Structure 1
């Protein structure tokens, strides 16, 4: 029989983690089954977790990571200087041992892979579950274990750590809530308190935005590019909804294998139903696919202002200077002033290499022209259950911060250029938290457009 982790043992873990934290049980093999798919379904993208193992000799040990487990995509190690292993009992007796990660091994703290469960270290340093291991008489046999590679075991060998046995009666994974939902505490990106006053100030800032007068640009142009289904058209619909005062769907959007956008559409956003257009346009374009996408030369025409609004993309007949409507003498107001790359947050770990390469090819053209870039990371509500109720917690969710870091590395951009958002999708009424997050993204985009126009004047 397994003796559950006791209150005083939980307090010891709290002390080691640092602060008064709350533990929420996510996964338990005796209840949920001992297979990797179930572990990742219940534990991925949950932020900090504690894994606790109870072996058949009543020895209790495990590991803590401040990072999220992620099972999708290829196997990879995760950097975490806060990770540690621990032992709470040995043969039923309290021992309270903490084994910190070695300084040079931060990059090997945990190992994420879709076909194994929680793995600590590059060895691994701790027993872990693999896929579809069935119990016999309530006993689960874990995978092999090595020690003294990633974590400082203080001279303890395998026998001293796990009682030299990999047969366990249970394994539990707890989410660790480190007070991370308190405004201003443990945020990965600083932000003022999200209240109605802040929302109205953001809205006013965007409504009153004007491009630099000396540039003769009346509306800055924001080009949206990204994979099919990432949410380019939905971003326009979300911004349009905010200023119209109701959830709208002016641009076609949805989930299909092929892009619903077949034309370059330079959408305007108006204040109210029939008010004045605001001083920016959101330019929607064809979605990228493995075997299709935007021709690099046509993309250059788009950036340079040669491509007319409502131009229909046709792989069999590409845009050229001889095409009707081709703008042979574009001015500064015709050009693209900032590019927003739209990425689905749930697909970051499984983005096809073909799509990444297509985007990087386009980035070369963007960089050659000195056009600023942002990445709109959509569907963040599908990354964390908390965000399904309230996206005002976005900057407090460690899993979102980790995805921002990954996207920044993939596309070679600073983290400040990676902006998480949630588009209107299932909602039928406007929500202040969704509006605030979207307007924060749009304000950043407009600030970058001003940077481009300033450089244009300097030249």
Structure 2
């Protein structure tokens, strides 16, 4: 699986990197997912994407790109991290900013402001984005523990973002984190994940709540307290990344045919 990702080639080599946007509630595990990807591919623990242990407020403030390296250089896919979503839009990332990011209008390093979304009049607004600036896959990161805690306001915002991504035909996935906390048998042995009725129920609930097919819901166990990688966690993370990058690659191929 690692070899396949390291040898992954783009349908359009001029793209440089596929751009995959991660979004989710505060504490869902976006930054930890990035670190888990880097750890699984490199074989050693990575902490490049800083994650807030408190998780009371969003640790990520800027629109930032996390590149994946293999020792020879960057792999042809990258992950963008943003502020966490909150029920109160005046605190977390603004829906309008996510919509602008999907279209490639937000420049790298822009500091997100929950109370003042980016507009066309501001210098950080990219009014003429190229295909490489746009999002090629949207990934919502959700915690298996928090599926029942989504407020109506947050569900509405997620629906707005999903509809915008759908109108752009951007592929969408859900990465479900903390699956080990949702089922004792999975906590005991991650290899039980696809045998677990509890995890299956969580995936079905997630599909119903967020409008994403079960086949596009990818359960993972992020590295959090571990000091060494292990095969069971790596396989789940690598399987998720493989599905995501192939869908993003198919998307840019489709756009070139139009």
| Aligned counterpart for 1:282 among listed residues 79, 92, 96 | 79
Q: Deviations over 1:315-341 (max 9, x none)?
A: 344322332333222111111000001
1:434 pairs with 2:233: yes
The question of 1:413 aligning with 2:212 is answered yes
Q: Work out whether residues 12 and 253 of structure 2, in 8 Å CA contact, stay in contact via their aligned partners in 1.
A: no
SS at match of 1:453: helix
Whether the aligned pair in 2 keeps the contact of 1:378 and 1:422 (CA below 8 Å) is yes
Q: Is structure 2 residue 221 aligned with structure 1 residue 221?
A: no
Q: How does 1:300-339 map to 2 (within 5 A)?
A: 300-339=99-138
Q: CA deviation at 1:456?
A: 0.5
User: TM (normalized to structure 1)?
Assistant: 0.54
Asked whether 1:348 is paired with 2:141, we answer no
In the alignment, structure 1 residue 237 sits paired with structure 2 residue 40: no
Counterpart secondary structure, 1:339:
strand
Partner of 2:156: 357
- CA offset at residue 418 of structure 1? 0.6
CA–CA distance in 2 between the matches of 1:294 and 1:326?
16
Question: What secondary structure sits across from 2:142 in the alignment?
Answer: strand
RMSD: 1.5
- Structure whose CA Rg is larger: 1
User: How high is the TM-score relative to the length of structure 2?
Assistant: 0.93
Q: Partners in 1 of 2:115 and 2:218 — Cα distance?
A: 35
Q: Please report how far the alpha carbon of residue 398 of structure 1 lies from its aligned counterpart in structure 2 after TM superposition.
A: 1.3
Which whole-Å CA distance do the structure 2 matches of 1:228 and 1:337 have between them?
A: 23
Selected match of 2:200 from 386, 401, 404: 401
Contact 1:266 1:283 in 2 (8 A): yes
Q: 1:296 aligns with which of 76, 92, 95?
A: 95
2:64 and 2:33 map into 1 onto residues whose CA distance is 13
Q: CA separation in 2, counterparts of 1:438 and 1:323? A: 38
Distance 1:413 1:394 in 2: 20
Q: Is the 8 A contact 1:348 1:407 kept in 2?
A: yes
Alignment-derived partner of residue 251 in structure 1:
49
Which structure 1 residue ranges, 5 or more long, are not aligned? Answer: 1-201
Displacement after TM superposition at 1:221 (Å): 0.5
- 1:358 Cα offset (Å): 1.8
Q: Structure 1 residue 255: deviation in Å?
A: 3.4
Inter-partner Cα distance in structure 2 for 1:207 and 1:389: 31
* Structure-2 separation of matches of 1:410 and 1:382: 20
Higher relative contact order, structure no. (Cα contacts within 8 Å, ≥ 6 residues apart): 2
* Corresponding position: 1:447 with 2:242: no
Q: Which has the higher strand share?
A: 1
Where structure 2 has 5 or more consecutive residues not aligned to the other structure, the ranges are none
What is the match of residue 260 of structure 1?
Answer: 59
Aligned to 1:50: none
Higher helix share: 2
Deviating beyond 6 angstroms after TM superposition, the runs of 4 or more aligned structure 1 residues are none
Partner Cα separation in structure 1 for residue 257 and residue 60 of structure 2? 36
